[in-house]
Amino acid sequence: MVKLYRRGDQDRLDLQDPRAIERWMPWLALLRRWHHYEVHGLENIPRKGAALLTLNHGPVPVDAPLLGAAVYRETGRLPRALTDHLVFSMPVVRELFMALGAVDGRHDLAGSLLAQGNLVMVMPGGAPEAFKSTARAYDIYWRERTGFARLAIRQQVPVVPAACIGIDEMYTVPFDMFELGRRFLGVRSIPLPIAWGVGPLPRRVKLDHYIGEPIHPGVPAEAADDEAAVLEFRDRVVASMETLITHGLALRDGRSTPPDAP
């Protein structure tokens, strides 16, 4: 039976339903075949203990459930996802996200999930990264984002970077849609939907995830209040993501051998 959303469900940590996940696995298998999806580096996923799994954000983030399913198949762990609060205003979508264990991406909820030993999936770039222009494909929009780094330091958990190649090619986006939203609507939370794939549908592109080695904070929990320490840790994670993306794009184009990890 599907649990229908009730106000406040986005704050609950107990709604992940393994039965729903098992029911969705055949559909995710079809999606995996459709996109010829592959994961490289699953051995870098911790088999136990809390960790933050950080992903780059594309306009249609189908890579997140595909990666979650791959982690589940390989390790038996069910990742928990942090998502934008606007998702919980979307009927049907919110019920699916709830069943898969997603919660509102607040720091207190993320901290509680990590304190319980969960593998927590987050896209630090958020919607601005998702709706960037095609000219900035694969740019990491995390330079202004410190929340994930501060959280990892405070909770003393590693960050596992996971970069998806292909996700920024499902649509052509001529302009930064969030910037257009700000200019014409006066807000940055509503992007103007100017994008195309196969008409309004996303293109069928090959998707590859490259997972890097866990990056440990290397500073005590109190350093979460030290801005310099937070920025240094964030920059280490961003550098690792950029290396994975450069490597993945080069491999796709037949130009690279695996680089040393940063």
Q: What is the pLDDT of residue 117?
A: 97
Both tokens of 28, joined, read: 């995710």
Domain ranges, ordered by start, for the chain: 16-252
Beta sheet of 208-211, edge-to-edge order: 38-40, 208-211, 159-165, 51-55, 119-122, 80-83, 103-104
User: Beta strand pairing status for 208-211 and 38-40?
Assistant: parallel
Question: Which one of the listed residues 57, 85, 107, 216 is annotated catalytic?
Answer: 57
**Closest Cα to residue 159, out of 72, 50, 255?**
50
16-252 maps to which CATH number? 3.40.1130
| Other CB atoms within 10 Å distance of the CB of residue 29 | 14
Reply yes or no on whether 247 is catalytic: no
Least confident of 50-64, 159-173, 208-222, 246-260: 246-260
What are the phi and psi torsion angles at 196 (to 5°)? -150, 150
- HSE at residue 104, side-chain half, CA atoms within 13 A, is 14
167-188 confidence digits (pLDDT tens): 999 999 888 877 666 666 666 5
29-79 confidence digits (pLDDT tens): 999 999 999 999 999 999 999 999 999 999 899 999 999 999 999 999 999
114-130 confidence digits (pLDDT tens): 999 999 999 999 888 98
Residues 191, 129: Cα–Cα separation, whole Å = 11
| Other CB atoms within 10 Å distance of the CB of residue 187 | 10
